[in-house]
Amino acid sequence: MTDVMPDPLTLAILLPLFGAIAAFLLPRAAPAIGLGAVVATAAAIAVLGHLVVQAGTIFVPLGGWGAPLGIELRADGLALAMLGLTALIALGVGLGALAAFAGETEVGGQPMARQRAFFWPLCLLLLTGMNGVYLSNDLFNLYVMLEVISLAAVGLAVLGGTVAALRAGLAYMYASLLGALMMLLGVGFVYLQTGRLDLAGLAGAPDSAALSAAFGLMLVGLALKTALFPLHFWLPEAHANATAPASALLSALVVKAGLYILLRLAEAGPFPGEAILTLMGVLGTGAVLWGGVQALRAERLKLLVAWSTVAQMGLIFVALARAGLEGLSDSWRAAALLILAHAVAKAGMFLAAGRIKDVIGHDRISELDRSAVRPALAQLAFALAAISLIGLPPSLGFIGKWSLMEGAMMAGNWHWVAVTMAGTLLSVAYFTRALTGFLRFDRVRAPLDEHRGWALADAPPVVLAGLAVGLGLAAGPILAVLDLGTPFGAIP
């Protein structure tokens, strides 16, 4: 722990916040402001990374008032990895949004200029909340930042302006409000029991029924916000009916905030009892199976990708449950790797699906082979992202899944191995539906086999999907970053 200047930590939160305000006030300059704010935030994170590498864990009390009275920011390897991931995805999706929202024609229910004007303030507000969650070191600040994320996410979900998007956004808002209520009740119970809300104080709290109830309430709230089965009702339609850049942010980033908070709660401890952890594993298994089956039945490409998010969130919850039950640091690292792998791959996949829909004119899976125009690079990006989400080598998804299964096999927990393999086989099945649609070609109904050339809109999904595969080759350095400050060493 080293006392350093607060600039990098506070700038990682304030830069996107000020950028969101500026983009809202100057809508014509919103794209330039948005990209500039993302790049500036990435630069602040790079400086912070240098400090974390030197010091391990950094604590910064805002205004000179530290815990338990004041607000204290904290950065370690886990926070740094999530900050870097978020900046990378925000930059990639932002570049994709430049092409997706180009022109003035009306798409869905909103003119393109209006979508472009509102996307950037919402994107930057989301970046503010995400970075705030990663750097927060007390439960109430985590709650506040989680609500900032929800506010931006609901706005992004309804950005398309269609009836379906508005209906899905309303369901998302109701789920988010209920999740916020559960989270706030849990935070209140913790304060009544311990008299403080900082995570360090929570680590020293004795086990009690009230504290277990608090964790249970927070877990329900976070399960709603991360769409854990059977509380996933809002996610498929919200992600499938949003614009492609919004869907990429919702799936890659928003649902990760709750997972990150669970990791921090596990680090602080005492983590929920065995019964709650077992239930979490059972619900995760249900999500893997139900999400996979629904993805197999999906008629639209974006809906397939959205249902796959439900399944993959379930697998991450299985990893968290196994880690909590067995108390092994390697299990927590596997969960963190799965979070990182899913975020990068899903951002690339949603951008690719949106690009395919824009070029072909629809995303009906049964008719993907009837188009006379072939968005070949977008299809390549979709396939690369699928490789990581399925868990094929050398992708980062493979490293995460293998770490999970290896630990389960060594512990003799073959049921977790079976769940992981079942999810993998289902993902092979539903992604194959889309990939075979790309390869088939009906020469009677679509006689013109035109392969669309390279365009700016193809670059972000290809790069993100390529990273999802290539980062598996850098798993060693990624794990080294995750271990800075030994965040997982503190987990029992």
The DSSP string of 302-341 is HHHHHHHHHHHHHHHHHHHHHHHHH--HHHHHHHHHHHHH
Q: Burial code of 74-107, b = ≥16 C-beta within 10 A, e = fewer?
A: bbbbbbbbbbbbbbbbbbbbbbbbbbbbeeeeeb
Dihedral (CA of 238, 244, 245, 251) sign: positive
pLDDT at 115: 73
Residues 418 and 307 in one domain: yes
pLDDT at 193: 83
Residues 316 and 224 in one domain: no
pTM: 0.90
Among residues 249, 272, 295, which one ends one of the domains? 272
- Percent of the chain at pLDDT > 90 equals 48
Q: In which domain, by residue range, is 312 found?
A: 275-492
pLDDT band at 278 (very low <50, low <70, confident <90, very high): confident
Average confidence (pLDDT) over 32-48: 94
Kindly report, residue by residue over 359-388, the tens digit of the pLDDT.
888 888 887 777 667 788 888 999 999 999
pLDDT at 455: 66
Beta bridge partners of 74: 59
Average confidence (pLDDT) over 447-464: 69
Among residues 244, 272, 300, which one ends one of the domains? 272
pLDDT at 113: 64
pLDDT at 385: 94
> At residue 35, does pLDDT exceed 50?
yes
> At residue 3, does pLDDT exceed 50?
no
Residues 201 and 284 in one domain: no
The mean pLDDT of the chain is: 85
> At residue 442, does pLDDT exceed 80?
no
Residues 46 and 71 in one domain: yes
- Residue 464: name the closest of 119, 96, 100, 153 by CA: 96
Average confidence (pLDDT) over 415-428: 92
Average confidence (pLDDT) over 164-187: 91
CA 400/CA 423 separation, integer angstroms = 14
Residues 343 and 453 in one domain: yes
Kindly report, residue by residue over 178-231, the tens digit of the pLDDT.
999 999 999 888 888 888 888 877 766 777 777 888 888 888 999 999 999 999
Residues 285 and 201 in one domain: no
pLDDT at 492: 45
Residues 280 and 268 in one domain: no
Residues 215 and 293 in one domain: no
pLDDT band at 160 (very low <50, low <70, confident <90, very high): confident
Residues 101 and 145 in one domain: yes
Residues 219 and 318 in one domain: no
> At residue 452, does pLDDT exceed 60?
no
Number of separate domains in the chain:
2
CA 177/CA 475 separation, integer angstroms = 37
Residues 83 and 178 in one domain: yes
Tokens of 415: 């049921």
pLDDT at 265: 83
pLDDT band at 275 (very low <50, low <70, confident <90, very high): confident
Among residues 248, 272, 296, which one ends one of the domains? 272
CA 8/CA 41 separation, integer angstroms = 9
Helix (H) / strand (E) element for 58: namely strand 58-61
Residues 43 and 139 in one domain: yes
